[in-house]
Structure 1
Amino acid sequence: MYGNYTGRSGAGAVALGVTLLLAGCSSSAPSSGGDKSSAGSAPYWVNPDGNAARQVAAYTKAGNGRDAGLIKKIARQPVGEWIGPDNPEAEAKGFTEAARKAGREALLVLYNIPHRDCGQFSKGGAADGDAYRAWLEGVAKGIGDRRTTVILEPDALLHLIDGCTPQEFHEERYDLLKGALERLKQLPHTRVYMDVGNAGWRTPDALFRPLRQAGIADADGFAVNVSNFQTTAASTDFGKRLSVKVGNKPFVIDTSRNGNGPYDEGDPEENWCNPPGRALGEPPTTDTGEDLVDAYLWIKRPGESDGACKGGPKAGEWWPEYALGLARNTR
């Protein structure tokens, strides 16, 4: 249901005069070694050629300073770079090299598990297990020894629990998730957080056994609220209750669009999809004030559609009107 991949290679991410518009970001990243005392020693990389930055440049060129100023609220922040299916090594290398050259850390999202999203708005993924392993190997080679935080496979675990993914694929998916964790943790400076859904989807009691089976012991932690709208307070409580059941693992929270909390009107089955009236949440930072919360991150890229619902374009496409709404509604 997440739909963030837009197909732009990190190798082509260049300033194009936009860098001056984005100067001043001070968001911080976790250290690669796992020592909380050194967290925040390096900020996450801000892509100067991201969709929001391009929109700022377009509005500025058109003399629309008001809307350019609103979109800067997004463009100045580091957001997740979702690695596409076709050239994973080049994309991962491009993003991580650009981050290293800027003295920052890359934030990557891997979203290519076979039978992804159960045929919904973000359906797709690798053709089979072997194709996924080859794709993942490309990602790992592209990252190499560069400092990187990885969010692993949004909704892959949850769809094993909620009945969306057919039973015949469960064993393979657990194997792929565990194998992905093992491979990525062979990299010297990569942190990996496995997605576990959000506070409004399933309870910690339903999650902890599948999470263990998927290999959470090998991960740096788990990710909460990816592409969703649950409040930071609710997400923190949810994460803490789950952490107790999986060895006190830390977690990160996606705060990209949770400023006004979840949408509770209309069809409950689609209140996650382009809900109106939402706002940007806390900016990315590792200064969360919570020992178990490693970071607030913008994993979902604000302004990109959840899918073809409520007037939105297809999943992952930039939607400037929605981006403006998020920015306007932000306190």
Structure 2
Amino acid sequence: MKLTQSAVLAFAASALAAPSQTTEVKPRQAAAACSSAVTLDASTNVFKKYTLHPNKFYRTEIETAITSMSDESLVAAAKEVANVGSFLWIDTIENIAKIEPSIGDVPCSNILGLVIYDLPGRDCAAKASNGELKVGELSKYKSQYIDPIVKILKAHPNTAFALVIEPDSLPNLVTNIDKTPCKNSASGYRDGVAYALKQLNLPNVVMYLDAGHGGWLGWDANLKPGAQELAKAYTAAGKPKQFRGIATNVAGWNQWDESPGEFSTASDAKYNKCQNEKIYVETFGAALKTAGMPNHAIVDTGRNGVSGLRKEWGNWCNVAGAGFGKRFTADTGSSLADAFVWVKPGGESDGTSDESATRYDSFCGKEESYKPAPEAGQWNQDYFETLIKNANPSF
């Protein structure tokens, strides 16, 4: 059903696929970490100085994928994809172990991107990437997840880190609080996000809190409550100095500045003026400023190279025909958008299309969803190759 103003509160959150386990590889170049402690000025756009680092775990997945390719032009393009900066998802307590190996080949000119993603009752409005921690396990989230990450980042003061904090969490509390799982998760989300922001407020860190996308919190009815929900977390965390603003379109498909927008001709378009992410960043940014929160943004362009593939804003799972989007740059054309970044590792599934699977979500069975698709986070070779073929700009 096409989202209408009355249906906004029932909007299903996009399930975000966490990375699959990958084999470590040796650094492709000698590490050239900074010779002294890094201090990031979060009142400025740090991406003007630092390049998003191509993390080694995604690189290894791509290197493995290349072994299955026979088309030399595709192989060459895949090698270029491996050089694009991307975020590493720390989606479980076990995967905290990926952080230190990833630091080893980060030169002083680069910043390592990490996604903090393990709240109790995670992904409350969908099933594809439900987390390991149950509702009520907030103390475990703090002591066994956030605290160990803080310890590692403190132990590496000469490396710069950019963090995306808990995708899907607070936006779900704006639009899906009527769903029992989200209602039960609400206090844990709010307390957990505030704790993460407070504890990760380190000199060598810059933080961005997930804010969904223009087809989610961009609806007229969601702008003010959405801004207030995020601002409350920022305030509860003590207004951390290293907090910069928001991350949008994480694992999403929305275009940056397409005009008219992808759903501008829909019957309910009059209820959502945020028809592209640029309008959303600037419109929601104004609401955030009014709510008293820093309002700069990073935008995930990892898979938004092709427009017009979806029938509805909310169709989030393995959209068929997608292509890699704009590569990392701090030249966005918007004073509020710090950078275009790849947060979602293209090639890793959003969720399984197997209807018999425990974590099957009906959104992964949509007509425009690629099939067959493996479980969230698992590698999909054909989908990865399609992303390369449809990349815009091309490789």
- Range into which the TM-score falls when normalised by the shorter chain: 0.7 to 0.9
SS in 2 for 1:321: helix
Q: Is it true that 1:152 corresponds to 2:165 in the alignment?
A: yes
Check conservation: 1:91, 1:142, Cα contact below 8 A. Answer: no
Check conservation: 1:96, 1:105, Cα contact below 8 A. Answer: no
Q: Is it true that 1:105 corresponds to 2:129 in the alignment?
A: no
Cross-structure match for 1:140: 150
Check conservation: 1:111, 1:154, Cα contact below 8 A. Answer: yes
- CA deviations 1:246-280 (Å, max 9, x no partner) are 22510010000111136323xx4872111111111
Pairing of 1:118-129 with structure 2 (within 5 A): 118=124, 120-127=127-134, 128-129=137-138
Check conservation: 1:253, 1:296, Cα contact below 8 A. Answer: yes
Check conservation: 1:70, 1:324, Cα contact below 8 A. Answer: no
* Selected match of 2:49 from 41, 47, 58: 41
Cross-structure match for 1:58: 67
* Selected match of 1:245 from 287, 306, 311: 287
The two structures, once aligned, show a CA RMSD in angstroms of 2.5
Check conservation: 1:88, 1:138, Cα contact below 8 A. Answer: no
* Alignment partners' CA distance in 2, 1:221 and 1:38: 12
Aligned residue type for 2:300: D
Check conservation: 2:215, 2:313, Cα contact below 8 A. Answer: no
Cross-structure match for 1:24: none
Shift of 1:291: 1.3
Check conservation: 1:43, 1:104, Cα contact below 8 A. Answer: yes
SS in 2 for 1:116: coil
Q: Is it true that 1:254 corresponds to 2:300 in the alignment?
A: yes
Check conservation: 1:90, 1:142, Cα contact below 8 A. Answer: no
Q: Which structure carries more helix by proportion?
A: 1
Cross-structure match for 2:183: 167
Greater alpha carbon shift after TM alignment, 76-85 vs 199-208: 199-208
Cross-structure match for 1:77: 84
Cross-structure match for 2:245: 221
**Percentage of pairs with the same residue:** 23
Aligned residue type for 1:104: N
Pairing of 1:228-239 with structure 2 (within 5 A): 228-233=252-257, 234-239=276-281
SS in 1 for 2:121: coil
Instruction: State how many pairs are aligned.
Output: 311
Aligned residue type for 1:224: T
Aligned residue type for 2:188: E
* Selected match of 1:14 from 26, 47, 50: 26
* Selected match of 2:321 from 277, 283, 286: 277
* Selected match of 2:120 from 103, 114, 117: 114
* Alignment partners' CA distance in 2, 1:49 and 1:92: 10
Check conservation: 2:323, 2:390, Cα contact below 8 A. Answer: yes
SS in 2 for 1:36: coil
SS in 1 for 2:63: helix
- CA deviations 1:260-316 (Å, max 9, x no partner) are 136323xx4872111111111110111222211111010001111111133111001
Cross-structure match for 2:331: 287
* Selected match of 2:206 from 191, 197, 206: 191
Unaligned runs of 5+ in 1: 21-30
- CA deviations 1:162-215 (Å, max 9, x no partner) are 224432331232111111101111x11100100010111123233111111221
Check conservation: 1:44, 1:99, Cα contact below 8 A. Answer: no
Cross-structure match for 1:3: 17
Unaligned runs of 5+ in 2: 1-14, 30-38, 258-275, 354-370
* Alignment partners' CA distance in 2, 1:67 and 1:54: 12
1:318 to 1:110, Cα distance in 2 relative to 1, 3 A: same
Shift of 1:157: 0.8
* Alignment partners' CA distance in 2, 1:322 and 1:89: 27
- CA deviations 1:71-97 (Å, max 9, x no partner) are 234212011100142335532222234
1:87 to 1:142, Cα distance in 2 relative to 1, 3 A: farther
Cross-structure match for 2:225: 206
Cross-structure match for 1:26: none
Check conservation: 2:40, 2:46, Cα contact below 8 A. Answer: no
Aligned residue type for 1:264: R
Check conservation: 1:111, 1:125, Cα contact below 8 A. Answer: no
SS in 1 for 2:326: coil
SS in 2 for 1:257: coil
- CA deviations 1:114-168 (Å, max 9, x no partner) are 1111250001142410111021011111122221000001101112122244323
Cross-structure match for 2:198: 182
1:142 to 1:170, Cα distance in 2 relative to 1, 3 A: same
1:159 to 1:57, Cα distance in 2 relative to 1, 3 A: same
Cross-structure match for 1:130: 139
SS in 2 for 1:148: strand
SS in 1 for 2:329: coil
Task: Please say which structure displays the higher CA radius of gyration.
Answer: 2
1:38 to 1:276, Cα distance in 2 relative to 1, 3 A: closer
